[in-house]
Amino acid sequence: MAVPVAFFAVFFAYPVAAIVARGLKTDGAWRLGRIGEVLAQSDVRHVLWFTSWQALASTALTLLVALPGAYVFARFDFPGKQLLRAVVTVPFVLPTVVVGTAFLALVGRGGLLDELWGVRLDTTVWAILLAHVFFNYAVVVRTVGGLWAQLDPRQEEAARMLGASRLRAWRQVTLPALAPAVAAAALMVFLFTFTSFGVVQILGGPTFSTLEVEIYRQTSQLFDLSTAAVLTMVQFAAVVAILAVHAWTVRRRETALRLVDAATTARRPRGAGQWALLAGVLGTVLVLLVLPLAVLVQRSLGASGFGYYRALADEDGGAFLVPPIEAIGNSLQYAVAATAIAVVIGALAATALTRRDAGRFVRGFDALLMLPLGVSAVTVGFGFLIALDEPPLDLRSSWILVPLAQALVGVPFVVRTVLPVLRAVDGRLREAAAVLGASPWRVWREVDLPMVRRALLVAAGFAFAVSLGEFGATVFIARPDNPTLPVAVARLLGRPGDMNYGQAMALSTILMLVCAVALVVLERLRTDRSGEF
């Protein structure tokens, strides 16, 4: 645990604590009264209210739309199911900047709906809600569908034979068993939407602002670190509460159910109703998930074919010191380095968490590993600039700063992917190897590693995808001569002109394709124990 604890202490806890202290301390004295002053401001209360209710609305809407899809993937077997599973998962691994750009091309000024019917949603909350459903659809399908596929259908059939209607059997038998998974999925969706940044930044404009967007505005535009510090503390407290409830629901799901092999529960649809349900889910996927991405690709081509793509190689004297196309190479290099860091840190943490003699501190660290997914990435990025500016940790001019920030987001995915597989390894195998004289390192290399190798590859793929799209922290620490793809897209969208808009669409399409390719590779490597998030 020494290396993971040191990594999170230096590159997560220290930067966050530094920026909070910078905002709440004056001449060495804490200004705790500033907390009440900030929370008493009407515009801050409005941000808190909007952040909370849009997260609740996004969560409810996502569950409503995605639960039928979870049932279809769990209980139906049909041609193209694996391909459709990959298509459904693509939005989740996309950077939020790409999601916002895709919906801007669909519902924004000059978008598809504007051209066809004169309808614009980019200035309404509906654009944000729909984009959140687009992004989190796979969370519900994977989390709930993964458990639903392993529930024994004979329990519901027995209830039907005893006289219960189909609805009553589902409500009294299946729903209670699914409740922990539904709750866990809802909490994860709420967490992602509560801390939403890229989507709201692009689609919300000046009208709508979440806590994360407001922290960014207070930090980078108004330079009001005290207000940003208070908002960071509020968001941190909310995230800790959400993760605590999520950990409780996950433990319920792991200990309260008897599961069967998922391969034995899926069958071909029967009857007109089931085929209609399958058709409805396919239509939802096409309209909600595929259409925005297709419009994004179409807008990137424009009327001149690949003109926007060719323009990416031109020298730029405004927002970029280098041609925008160099952001592709920068992002790939940063993502590879971040993936290597995340795999090493995550694998060490997962290995420590599987030890039977792990103490309370180690078990508690499991929950803390999820904090980077919810704590303000903007705070982490700006904290890097404030905290890591003195020897021996003066990294402000070092290229490693960006991969370190990206790795913080990748480590939770590595742990969540590798940990179930390591826990499934029979401890007697390790004991036998140790009795025969193998060192702990050799035991891990020859017993654990062969079983966990595929899970590590899957974890590396997820870490690569999320590192590639990290935006909240990178926007602060990426140098102007080495922009990443998400930062380049945001800068282009912030400049007027059709050429800048088209180039943003082109870069977003490239980023989407790279993430999609990474996901296809993941689906080929996926195992039953490492395939769900």
Pairing of strands 29-30, 25-26: antiparallel
Number of H helices, E strands in the chain: 27, 2
**Residue-level pLDDT at 363:** 60
Written as six digits, the tokens of 167 are 């609805």
Contact 149, 266 (CB under 8 A): yes
DSSP one-letter code for 394: -
Strand ranges, E, within 356-445? none
SS3 content of the chain, % helix, strand, coil (to 5): 75, 0, 25
Pick the closest to residue 416 from 319, 532, 307, 518 (CA basis): 532
pLDDT in tens, 251-291: 655 544 455 555 566 788 888 888 999 999 999 999 999 99
Measured CA angle at 267 (ends 264, 271), to 5 deg: 150
Give dist(CA 365, CA 351) in Å, integer. 13
Confidence (pTM):
0.82
**Residue-level pLDDT at 357:** 60
For every residue of 274-308, DSSP letters joined together read HHHHHHHHHHHIIIIIIHHHHHHHHHHH-TTSSHH
Give dist(CA 29, CA 222) in Å, integer. 23
Contacts of 10 (CB under 8 A, 6+ apart): 393
Tell me the pLDDT of the chain averaged across its residues: 82
Give dist(CA 365, CA 9) in Å, integer. 12
Element housing 115 (H / E)? helix 112-117
Ranges under pLDDT 50 in the chain? 255-257, 527-533
Give dist(CA 250, CA 414) in Å, integer. 17
**Residue-level pLDDT at 320:** 65
CA dihedral 455, 343, 419, 5 (to 10 degrees): 180
Amino acid at 381: G
Half-sphere exposure of 47 (CA within 13 A, CB side): 29
**Residue-level pLDDT at 440:** 80
Pick the closest to residue 143 from 174, 184, 175, 179 (CA basis): 184
- Crossing angle of helices 498-525 and 291-301, rounded to 10°: 130
**Residue-level pLDDT at 531:** 41
pLDDT in tens, 343-372: 999 988 888 887 766 556 666 677 777 788
